[in-house]
């Protein structure tokens, strides 16, 4: 019984590891020759896709690297005993990769290491575009097995300065004639022409010109029982609109930022169930951009810039009786690249609108010379010039004490300054303490 118990405790299978040989390293598509101190009758390779082994003699082996990775080579001696297990490590061709990397990106401090079957890149690189180039090259030597530990040096914060400059000019001229006729008893009346004229009431001498009398001239007289009112409308208007906006915004490289200086206009919206809800449409100065520092001072910008205002002359009335004004909008969306401090005119508009209109009495308005009394002419012309400029800057944070705010130089006046001296802004001590030399302040011409 004791013999049987002892037999049951003995292991059925034992693992023979053999002599532990030092791991050998082979580069992809390159070979090494192994020499053995004892004769080898058989060999076994765990993964032939990583390496290829050929027998040169009973003590010499030829090892060729095929793909990055690790595998095990088992050697059997002449007496069928286990000689050794050899670990074969196949690595990418780092020597060639480093040469190509140095040729493509000279001067960049990029360290190249192997990790398993892959490549690890580390170091400080001057730009994001060079990081992409290094990774793309590494993929040729270790496809889908590249680890990026590189960091981008230099300033990675971008301040974008946008300038909207718009000038709109308008000119309009209007010359019209209006004529109103009625008899004493009011049996017949008549008016014609574009100027404001009304048939005079019977037995009255009241002149009716209209609500707006700017540029209008009227006359009322009687011819027997017929009253005649003549109105002449002659008006010329000129207008000028100047718009200048300079929003500035700072964002981190690769991150988006948005800016809005204006407001939100409520717009009623009727739902499918008939309920009325309110949606808010932003208006004013809007800026959204995403900067990417691709090189030392080369900046890629994805930009959306808009300037909008409420147009009181355009009104839409919905089915619910609510009136909504329209919006005047000038916007641009683009992607550009430029260096630190450079400027681009990314959008421009030159618009010239002209219109004229002639209203006349048939036949009478076509008469030579006298026909001018029976027709009215309207003329209008508007010109718009718009330019949008952008300038990116690489910036770094500074000490908060070195920055000043617009409110730092404005002080609330005390009672004496407000009531006795009539000053709406008190004298700031910060301004008084400054030593100004030369010209300073704002100059308006």
Q: What is the CATH number of the domain that holds 50?
A: 2.60.40.1080
Strands 323-339 and 298-317: antiparallel
Task: Give me the domain span that covers residue 275.
Answer: 160-165+240-395
Strands 118-125 and 146-152: parallel
326 and 424 assigned to the same domain: no
Neighbours of 199 (CB within 10 A): 19
365 and 417 assigned to the same domain: no
277 and 348 assigned to the same domain: yes
CB 342 within 8 A of CB 389: no
289 part of a folded domain: yes
- Rounded CA separation 431/44 (Å): 88
444 part of a folded domain: no
Mean pLDDT by 10 residues, the chain (445 residues): 50 53 80 85 87 86 86 85 85 84 86 82 82 88 86 80 88 78 69 60 53 63 73 80 84 89 85 81 90 85 90 77 83 91 88 84 75 77 89 86 76 82 69 54 47
389 and 259 assigned to the same domain: yes
182 and 301 assigned to the same domain: no
388 and 423 assigned to the same domain: no
pLDDT of residue 393: 92
pLDDT of residue 85: 85
pLDDT of residue 291: 92
pLDDT of residue 319: 65
442 part of a folded domain: no
130 and 277 assigned to the same domain: no
- Rounded CA separation 66/26 (Å): 9
11 part of a folded domain: no
- Report residue 122 as tokens: 């580390």
Count of structural domains within the chain: 5
434 part of a folded domain: no
CATH of the domain at 125: 3.30.1340.30
310 and 374 assigned to the same domain: yes
74 and 103 assigned to the same domain: no
259 and 366 assigned to the same domain: yes
3 part of a folded domain: no
- Report residue 89 as tokens: 């490590």
106 and 222 assigned to the same domain: no
99 part of a folded domain: yes
253 and 340 assigned to the same domain: yes
pLDDT of residue 2: 47
438 part of a folded domain: no
């Amino acid at each position: 019984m004791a013999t049987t118990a002892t037999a049951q405790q003995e292991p059925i299978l034992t693992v023979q590891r053999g002599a532990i040989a030092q791991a050998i390293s082979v580069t992809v598509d390159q070979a090494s020759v192994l020499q053995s101190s004892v004769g080898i009758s058989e060999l076994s390779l765990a993964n032939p896709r990583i390496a290829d082994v050929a027998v040169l003699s009973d003590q010499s082996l030829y090892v060729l690297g095929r793909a990055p990775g690790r595998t095990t080579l088992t050697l059997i001696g002449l007496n069928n005993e286990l000689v050794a297990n050899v670990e074969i490590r196949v690595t990418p061709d780092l020597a060639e990769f480093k040469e190509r990397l140095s040729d493509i990106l000279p001067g960049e401090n990029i360290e190249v290491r192997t990790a398993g079957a892959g490549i690890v890149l580390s170091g400080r690189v001057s730009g994001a575009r060079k990081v992409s180039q290094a990774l793309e090259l590494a993929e040729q030597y270790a496809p889908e097995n590249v680890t990026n530990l590189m960091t981008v040096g230099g300033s990675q914060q971008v301040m974008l300065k946008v300038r909207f400059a718009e000038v709109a000019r308008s000119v309009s001229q209007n010359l019209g004639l209006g004529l109103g006729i009625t008899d004493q008893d009011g049996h017949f009346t008549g008016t014609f022409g574009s100027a404001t004229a009304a048939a005079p009431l019977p037995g009255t001498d009241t002149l009716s010109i209209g609500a707006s009398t700017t540029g209008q001239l009227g006359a009322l007289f009687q011819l027997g029982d017929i009253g005649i009112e003549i109105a002449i409308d002659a008006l010329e208007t000129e207008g000028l609109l100047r718009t200048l906006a300079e929003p500035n915004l700072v964002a981190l490289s690769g991150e988006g930022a948005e800016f809005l200086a204006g407001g939100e206009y409520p717009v009623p919206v009727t739902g499918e169930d008939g309920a009325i809800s309110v949606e808010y449409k932003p208006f004013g100065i809007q800026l959204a951009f995403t900067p990417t520092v691709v090189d030392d001072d080369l900046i890629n910008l994805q930009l959306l810039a808009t300037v909008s205002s409420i147009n009181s002359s355009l009104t839409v009335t919905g089915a619910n009786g609510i009136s909504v004004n329209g919006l005047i909008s000038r916007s641009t969306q683009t992607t550009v690249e430029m260096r630190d401090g450079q400027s681009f005119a990314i959008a421009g508009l030159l618009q010239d609108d002209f219109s004229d209109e002639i209203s006349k009495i048939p036949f009478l308005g076509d008469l030579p010379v006298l026909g001018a009394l029976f027709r009215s002419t309207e003329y209008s012309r508007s010109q718009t010039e718009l330019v949008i400029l952008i300038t990116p800057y690489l910036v770094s944070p500074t000490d908060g004490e070195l920055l000043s705010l617009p409110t730092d130089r404005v002080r609330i006046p005390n009672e004496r300054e407000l009531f006795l001296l009539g000053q709406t802004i008190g004298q700031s001590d910060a301004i008084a303490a400054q030593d100004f030399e030369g010209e300073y302040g704002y100059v308006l011409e």
